[in-house]
Amino acid sequence: MENQIKSVIITGANRGIGLALTKTFAKAGYHVMATARKPLQAVALIELADSDAHNISIFKLDVASKLSVDNFSKTIADIPVDILINNAGILDTYDSSIDNIDLVSFGEVLITNTISPIRVMRAAMNSLRLSNIKKVVNISSNMGSFSRITDGAHAYRTSKAALNKAMQIFRFELEKEGFTIMNLHPGWVKTDMGGNAADIDVETSAQGLFKVIEVTTAAQTNQIISYDGSVMDF
């Protein structure tokens, strides 16, 4: 139906790029199902939702917890959802080398950045299948690209490369059902993760990502697309 309000799930919506995406999609008239692992402490998100009560609903979701994802799945059960944005992510350290690498931390990064987007996607499958749009968006990073060879941040880089690969396979599997699965680079963004020296602010990133998400079709998704629409190497 043409005039139906579109809906989007955004993980890690309480700060950074997730919060800016929530603002951008709500402003564009979407119903945003904004998720946070500690919703009662998500002050900026609560303020935003209060100012835009029709368009933003807040849900509790720790993407790295099976129990939390299962509960979220039951909550959204048979509600159609047009777009899932896997945004939540962690970067443990840039300062890693063969001598100091913390493999426990490496595992935690893989769970949050690689395995959790798959778990959340599976939890939302029923809802996505009820939509005609069926988009799954992964906020990946150019740091996972095989053509960028530099040192440090082993866990983070590996987690994003693995996310890209896993989602490429799901794309192949689910294309026939009408799914569009995309891996996007948000730019180097001024957030807690990106730091103050980053290139762009969260609004520029979120507005760019919004345009890319709206226009990208399944045929264009076997690549990483940046927030400005440019295409990057896997």
Ligand X SMILES: NC(=O)c1ccc[n+]([C@@H]2O[C@H](COP(=O)([O-])OP(=O)(O)OC[C@H]3O[C@@H](n4cnc5c(N)ncnc54)[C@H](OP(=O)(O)O)[C@@H]3O)[C@@H](O)[C@H]2O)c1
- Kindly list the residues in this chain that would bind ligand X in the complex (CB under 6 A): 11-12, 14-18, 37-38, 62-64, 87-90, 112, 139, 141, 186, 188-189, 191-194, 198
> Closest CB to ligand X among 35 and 180?
35
CA distances, 191 to each of 33, 112, 195 (Å): 21, 18, 5
CA distances from 95 to 136, 164, 201 (A): 32, 23, 25
CB of 4 to ligand X, least distance (A): 28
Dist. CA 178–CA 187, nearest whole Å? 28
Q: How far is the CB of 69 from ligand X (least distance, A)?
A: 9
E-only strand ranges, 96-232: 135-139, 180-185, 224-226, 231-232
Which of 228, 200, 189 lies closest to 212, judged by CA? 228
Give 80 or 170: the residue with its C-beta nearer to ligand X: 170
β-pairing verdict for 224-226 and 231-232? antiparallel
Nearer to ligand X, 37 or 129 (CB): 37
**Toward ligand X, which CB reaches closer, 28 or 198?**
198
Q: Give least dist CB 155 to ligand X, A.
A: 11
CB 102 → ligand X: shortest distance, Å?
A: 17
CB of 124 to ligand X, least distance (A): 14
Complex with ligand X: residue 36 or 125, whichever CB lies closer: 36
Q: Minimum CB separation from ligand X for residue 63, in Å?
A: 4
Angle at 184 between CA 176 and CA 85, to 5 degrees: 70
Nearer to ligand X, 62 or 82 (CB): 62
Residue 179, token pair as written in the block: 């799914």
- Going by the DSSP 8-state scheme, the letter that residue 159 receives in this structure is H
